[in-house]
Structures are given as structure tokens and as C-alpha cells.
Amino acid sequence: MIPFFDLTKQYESIQSELDDAALRVMKSGWYILGNEVKAFEKEFADYVGVKHALGVGSGTEALHIALLALGVGAGDEVITVPNTAVATVAAIELTGARAVLVDVCDDTMLMNVEQLERATTSRTKAIIPVHLFGQSADLDPIMKLAHSASRNIFVLEDCAQAHGATYRGKRVGSVGDIAAFSFYPTKNLGAYGDGGAIVTDNAELAQRVDLLRQYGWRERYTSDIKGMNSRLDEMQAAILRVKLRHLDDWNKARRERAALYTELVRTVTLPREMSYGEPVYHLYVVQSPRRDELVVHLKARGIGTMIQYPHTIHLQPAYTNLGYREGSLPVSERLAREIVSLPLYPELSLDDVRSIAQAVNEFE
């Protein structure tokens, strides 16, 4: 059996480093917002190429708090895409704002900028481009549109699937006004539990995020603003510090396996790489109009697959309030019917990649 994903091999490869980090935390006697979190925030900010990084409890909370820091609230609109984790839209709704969805491009599966321009109104407060499957959205036209003289729109990058990906030589997360990362265990940079981070070059936004993540405290027990409890704990920060040192090597291994898939697979539509940046292949997503049959075919040969995501957000029962119907966002809807992810992680052997490619090619 070739699993879709296997975290045990990664753990085994860095076990001694992780054990040392965990022991350091346990001996310190400090478990929330201590030296490990501070060190990780500095190291992660340096890695992304920004001045500020702040650890929070999850990727969803990173999006939510980032939106609150931007002043997004009731009466505002935030534009994003429907072919993303529900967390993106859930975070918007948690602020009281309305999510406005635009379709994606057929070839990239990323935000369609032409539709984005048509969707902006006087109520648009922010845009959330999603760097899906490990590849950056095309940020220059999004930033140009958002920051044009006639508009004053914030850009919040959703980087949950793109740790280390680049856009025109810069790391994703360093281009927009603010960015959110998830450290869910299966991410390219994953904790052993939930975790997230918000990054920005804007000191005022960073300070507001810092207040929002812990009850609005400047001083303990005194809330200057209404905040919440969303803190990256010391143990996860220590783990992430270890794994961050290996991230570039792991991303390189992902790209090597993706390149081999692209070289060998012939019977399905393959992902495209954009010339403006380097992807990190959080997922290797192929398309087939007979997707469900392909999944059965691969399962019979002992190959695990995953579908991210089988239902676009606008057609899910919880989000009928957004006012979309079937056919409203046709590219995203087609992708939901046709996409499937093949196994891809740094420890996946190249021989297994060849076996999977052969099995896909046997599907006629």
C-alpha cells in the first residue's frame, strides 16, 4: 500500500532534534508565549522576508485575526475564491463581513483577476488570494487593483498551502499587506497539533494582531481592546523551529517528485507551473472527467488519493446565504468534480512515484 501521506517517516528523520526541542520546553517550565515562540516568530519572519511574525492557534484563527486587524467587520465585503478550504470563508464570516466569491482560471486553478475587478464595490475591504496547492496566485495585478488610487483595499495572502513558495523572487506572505499561515500537521511546515502565524511588514498591524491574539492585553489582565485567546504554544513553536531548518530541503524533494510525475504521467491533465514563481507542491493535483473511476482504479492497486476539495464553498449547505447557485462559478465547480491529488511528500520514494505514474497511465 502506498499511502496518500505519511508523517512517520518525517518524524523518524529528525527524531533526535525533536526530542531535544521537546525536552528543552519541558525543562523550561514555560509553555505559552515564551522564548520558543519569540524565537520561532523571529526565524519565521526572516524566512518569509518580513519584519513581523506572530504565532496564533490555527490557520483559521490567523485569517480571522488578520481580518480583524485590518478593521474588517459588519457591512464590509471580502473577496476570495470558492475552491479553497472552508476556513477561508469561515474566517470572513466570523468578522461579520460578507464573503464575495470569484471564479478561478481554468489553467491555474487560482484567482481570476478579471472577475476580481468586476466583483469589487465600494464595500470591498479586503481581498484574500489563496496560494492553492503550493503555487502562488498572480499577486502583481491583484496588488495593483487593490492599491489603485480609486480604491483602498487590503490584500491578505492565504499561505496555508504554500510555505516557501515564491512570487517573482519573493516568498509568498511578503507581498500583500498581511498574510496568514497554517501549521496543520500535513502542511509543508506542519506542527504536531494546530498552529498558525500572521506575518506583515506593517508595525501597526503587527501590534494590533498581538493585542487581538491575547484578550487585547498590553498589560496582563487589562484589555485595551476586545481580543481573544489564540496563542501558539511553546511546544509547537519548538517543533516548528526544528522543522523550519529542513523546509527548503523538503520543498526541493517535493518539486523533484512532482517533476517526475509530470515527466511520466500521460492520461490525465497535469498541474501547470506559472513562470512568475516557484511552487512547493503541497499537493500534486491532476484532473480527469472520470475522476471517481480513477480513484477506484488506484485504490484497487493499493494507492491512496485525496480530493481537495470535493465541494465548492458556495454550494455547501452552510453557505447558501452567500446567494450563489449551481453554475455561478463554473470553473471551480468543474474542478470539484475532476480533481484528485496523487501521493506526494518528501519521503515518498522515487520508485513509488514511478509505480503510481504507471498505475495512472493504465487508466484508459
Same domain, 96 and 171: yes
1 in a structural domain:
no
Would you say residue 238 lies in a domain? yes
Same domain membership, residue 193 and residue 97:
yes
73 and 219 co-located in one domain:
yes
**The pLDDT of residue 150:** 79
Statement to judge: residues 80 and 223 lie in one domain = yes
* 276 and 315 both lie in a single domain: yes
pLDDT tens-digit map of 256-283: 999 999 999 999 999 999 999 999 999 9
The domain of 127 spans: 8-102+109-244
pLDDT at 253: 98
CATH number, domain containing residue 314:
3.90.1150.10
Residue range 98-139, pLDDT digits in tens:
999 999 999 999 999 999 999 999 999 999 999 999 999 999
Pick the closest to residue 175 from 197, 161, 157 (CA basis).
157
State whether 173 and 44 are in the same domain: yes
Contact 241, 40 (CB under 8 A): yes
Question: 225, 244, 263 — which closes off a domain?
Answer: 244
Q: Give the integer Cα–Cα distance in Å for 252 and 277.
A: 14
Q: Choose the weakest-confidence range: 8-22, 70-84, 174-188, 212-226.
A: 212-226
- Per-residue model confidence (pLDDT) at position 162: 98
Report if residue 355 sits inside a domain: yes
Clarify whether residues 65 and 29 are in a common domain: yes
Radius of gyration of the chain (CA): 20
CA distance 85 to 289: 22
Q: Do 83 and 169 lie in a common domain?
A: yes
217 and 310 part of one domain: no
Of 244, 263, 288, the position where a domain reaches its end is 244
Q: Is 320 within a domain?
A: yes
Confidence of residue 151 (pLDDT cuts 50, 70, 90): confident
What is the percentage of the chain residues whose pLDDT exceeds 90? 96
- 211 occurs within a structural domain: yes
pLDDT grade, residue 64 (50/70/90)? very high
3 domain-assigned: no
- Strands 166-167 and 154-158, by their bridges, are unpaired
Q: Of 194, 227, 244, which closes a domain?
A: 244
Q: What is the mean pLDDT of the chain?
A: 97
Same domain, 273 and 348: yes
In a domain, 2, yes or no: no
Non-local (6+) Cβ contacts of 327 within 8 A are: 333
Work out the burial of residue 134: count CB atoms within 10 Å of its CB; fewer than 13 is exposed, 13-18 middle, 19 or more buried.
buried
- Domain count of the chain? 2
> Does residue 184 share a domain with residue 265?
no
The percentage of the chain sitting over the pLDDT mark of 70, rounded to a whole number, equals 100
Q: Are residues 149 and 182 in the same domain?
A: yes
Report pLDDT for 207: 97
Q: Does a structural domain hold residue 253?
A: yes
For residue 190, the model assigns a pLDDT of: 98
